Amino acid sequence: MWWPIGPYGTMMLVILLSTIPLRDLLTRDEPEKRLRLSELPAEIRAKGYHWHISLYVVMYVYKFLIDQHNEPMKPRVGGYTHWVHELEGEFTLWAQEAFRNDLLTDVLSFHYLFVYLFIIWFSPMYFILVRDHVMADKAALNYGLIYVLAVPLYLFFNVEVTSSYVPG
């Protein structure tokens, strides 16, 4: 499937455009909690959201750098795909064949791309946009911790996706 700005760009555009309407939907009973976009810069300065923004920038740069080094590291550290394949046997191939459907593939690909990006973006942004400083802190720290814990596994316990290992 072809997209003019690619799947990542498309999902980010949908997420950005849906942030305010979704915030309004979730706060329909509490409109007084909503932060106007014109108030956002002052809120960022007043509540010290600079570290939230910095954390996300660092995570983005961190992921970009890791992606540049991951492929060259694979031959050095090896992979564990064969162990996972031994454990699963032919079940994964059977499941892929049993449920093969182009529409299902497109729907699940959209879901995978959208939900991951949406949760990372919307969780802290929602709390900022409803003036909940404590939950904005927790959401940002949560994703920072996930990255810190996941990156060593991503680099050193490498498992390929099934399409690059399972025949068919």
Half-sphere exposure of 35 (CA within 13 A, CB side): 19
Mean pLDDT score, 142-166: 76
pLDDT of residue 1: 57
pLDDT recorded at residue 85: 79
What pLDDT is stored for residue 35 in this prediction? 93
Segment 15-35 shows an average pLDDT of: 94
Across the chain, mean pLDDT equals 84
d(Cα 39, Cα 45) in Å, to the nearest integer?
10
| pLDDT 10s digits, 120-130 | 889 899 999 99
Return the amino acid letter for 91: F
Model confidence pLDDT, tens digit, residues 40-62 = 999 999 999 999 889 888 887 88
**pLDDT exceeds cutoff 60 at 168:** no
- Using one digit for the tens of pLDDT, what is the confidence trace for 103-119? 988 888 888 878 888 88
- Residue 101 vs residue 71, higher pLDDT: 101
Sign of the dihedral through C-alpha 114, 71, 142, 17: negative
